[in-house]
Amino acid sequence: MLDERELAERNRAAYGAHSIFAGLVLLGVIYLMIAGDLIANQKLLLWLPETGDHWNAIFWGLLLAALTLPGAVLAWSKDAAADDVE
């Protein structure tokens, strides 16, 4: 059971993590759109996922990021533990 402070910290971390994740997905979609247009117009050759392995890596990478970001944001937002130094 979490107290009110811990619940607030967890909720803040989840909100921050989902904001970061949404930004990453948006940047990825923008890249895919621009790369597709540039390749279609034969102006610049950029990498695009073509095989199932490419899409598989993107899917599992996004899943891993979605699952670990809340914990990472919570860990990064916490102050360093105070040691018993006198």
Q: What is the dihedral of CA 18, 20, 23, 25, to 10 degrees?
A: -70
Give tens-digit pLDDT for 1-46.
889 999 999 999 999 999 999 999 999 999 999 999 999 999 999 9
Q: Say what the pTM is.
A: 0.81
Rounded distance, CA 9 to CA 35, Å?
39
What are the structural domain ranges in the chain?
27-68
Is residue 66's pLDDT more than 60? yes
pLDDT at 79: 79
Higher pLDDT, 83 or 74: 74
